[in-house]
């Protein structure tokens, strides 16, 4: 039996929503898991491009092709949760989502692997259980929740390990321009620059702005959203890791129609959120700033993907 699952990219944090907000974007990874019938064949893991050809090994040198692969680890966790061990498996990962850019590539493959394996097993795990397992692998639910649910999601892992989550309505008329530079930034490095403790006033600042953001989104309050997207918990520290980030944010700070500019997840990709604004101007501004620092950039204006992971026929 073989199961394929298509999973959207995700962008976490959205300014002040550090580790608790995320939204899905229409860029996809497809994970296919097949139980092989020949005993002793072991685990086979293939990385594929959109056109089905095997991706250049040099690009994915750090991705294990054995039991240490993050997809296999997630699958094994699901099997173990129902008292089983994984059988001989063939796992294909067809990738569109750029790796180490802050667009949830690892969350997508974890979610895809879990949902495919769950289908192979007869669907013993419900949505909440899959979200808990995915969070256990990823460490926090901000990417995996929108990867599973689609849309704009508020999620929190509580002290007892349970996941509290709600899907909110993102305004259809708000455009998201995703700016993806041609350099990588690993989540581990991006987290390493964050302080173990922050000033109380910074924590209060983010709590206020997160509340503003949720209200602005649910009421489509553009003026409030322009204030709400400011952050003091992660972006100021990561700024030094993303050349051009400060300049891009400053360029749109006082532009009517631009609601804000934020780092996508741990970066280095950035999101420019706008309404009735010249999208070509956004692209040219970002391109000029990054190319001035010898950085090439892929820029796409997208809508929030309302559908999460889906099992393909």
Instruction: Specify the pLDDT at position 67.
Output: 76
Q: Which residues contact 111 (CB under 8 A, 6 or more apart)?
A: 5, 7, 130, 134, 144, 147, 148, 309
Q: What is the CATH number of domain 2-168+305-312?
A: 3.30.230.10
Instruction: Answer whether 45's CB lies under 8 Å from 54's CB.
Output: no
pLDDT beyond 80 at 199: yes
CA 313, CA 298: separation in Å to the nearest integer?
31
Residues in the chain: 313
Instruction: Answer whether 302's CB lies under 8 Å from 180's CB.
Output: no
pLDDT beyond 60 at 54: no
Q: Give tens-digit pLDDT for 225-283.
A: 999 999 999 999 999 999 999 999 999 999 999 999 999 999 999 999 999 999 999 99
Q: Give tens-digit pLDDT for 89-99.
A: 889 999 999 99
The answer to pTM > 0.75 is yes
Q: What residue ranges in the chain does DSSP mark as E strands?
A: 2-12, 21-35, 44-48, 89-95, 152-157, 163-168, 175-181, 258-263, 270-274, 297-302, 310-312
Q: Where are the domains of the chain?
A: 2-168+305-312, 175-302
CA 6, CA 97: separation in Å to the nearest integer?
11
pLDDT beyond 60 at 59: no
Closest by alpha carbon to 151, among 3, 2, 8, 256? 8
Q: Give tens-digit pLDDT for 88-142.
A: 888 999 999 999 999 999 999 999 999 999 999 999 999 999 999 999 999 999 9
CA 227, CA 250: separation in Å to the nearest integer?
14
CATH 3.30.70.890 for domain 175-302: yes
Q: What is the CA radius of gyration of the chain?
A: 20
Instruction: Answer whether 273's CB lies under 8 Å from 262's CB.
Output: yes
3-state secondary structure of 45: strand
Instruction: Answer whether 265's CB lies under 8 Å from 100's CB.
Output: no
CA 169, CA 172: separation in Å to the nearest integer?
8
3-state secondary structure of 166: strand
Q: What are phi and psi of 308, to 5 degrees?
A: -85, -150
Instruction: Specify the pLDDT at position 62.
Output: 63
């Amino acid at each position: 039996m073989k199961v394929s699952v298509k999973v959207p990219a995700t962008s976490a944090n959205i300014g002040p929503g550090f580790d608790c907000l995320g939204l899905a974007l229409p860029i996809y990874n497809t994970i296919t898991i097949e139980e092989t019938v020949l005993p002793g064949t072991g685990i086979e893991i293939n990385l594929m491009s959109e056109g089905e050809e095997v991706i250049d090994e040099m690009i994915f040198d750090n991705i294990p092709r054995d039991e240490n692969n993050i997809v296999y680890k997630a699958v094994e966790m699901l099997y173990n949760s129902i008292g089983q061990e994984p059988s001989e498996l063939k796992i294909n990962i067809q990738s569109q989502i750029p790796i180490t850019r802050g667009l949830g590539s690892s969350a997508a493959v974890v979610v895809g692997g879990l949902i495919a394996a769950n289908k192979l097993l007869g669907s013993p795990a419900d949505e909440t259980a899959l979200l808990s397992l995915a969070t256990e692998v990823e460490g926090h639910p901000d990417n995996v929740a929108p990867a599973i649910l689609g849309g704009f999601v508020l999620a929190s892992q509580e002290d007892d390990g349970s996941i509290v989550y709600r899907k909110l309505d993102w305004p259809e008329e708000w455009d998201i321009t995703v700016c993806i530079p041609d350099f990588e930034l690993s989540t581990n490095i991006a987290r390493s620059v964050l302080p173990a403790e922050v000033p109380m006033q910074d924590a209060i600042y983010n709590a206020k702005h997160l509340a503003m953001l949720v209200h602005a989104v649910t009421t489509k309050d553009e003026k409030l959203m322009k204030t709400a997207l400011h952050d003091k918990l992660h972006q100021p520290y990561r700024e030094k890791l993303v050349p051009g980030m400060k300049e891009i944010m400053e360029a749109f700070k006082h532009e009517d129609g631009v609601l804000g500019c934020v780092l996508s997840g741990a970066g280095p990709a950035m999101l420019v959120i706008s309404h009735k604004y010249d999208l070509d101007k956004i692209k040219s501004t970002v391109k000029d700033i990054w190319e001035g620092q010898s950085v090439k950039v892929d820029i796409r204006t997208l809508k929030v993907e309302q559908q999460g992971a889906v099992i393909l026929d």
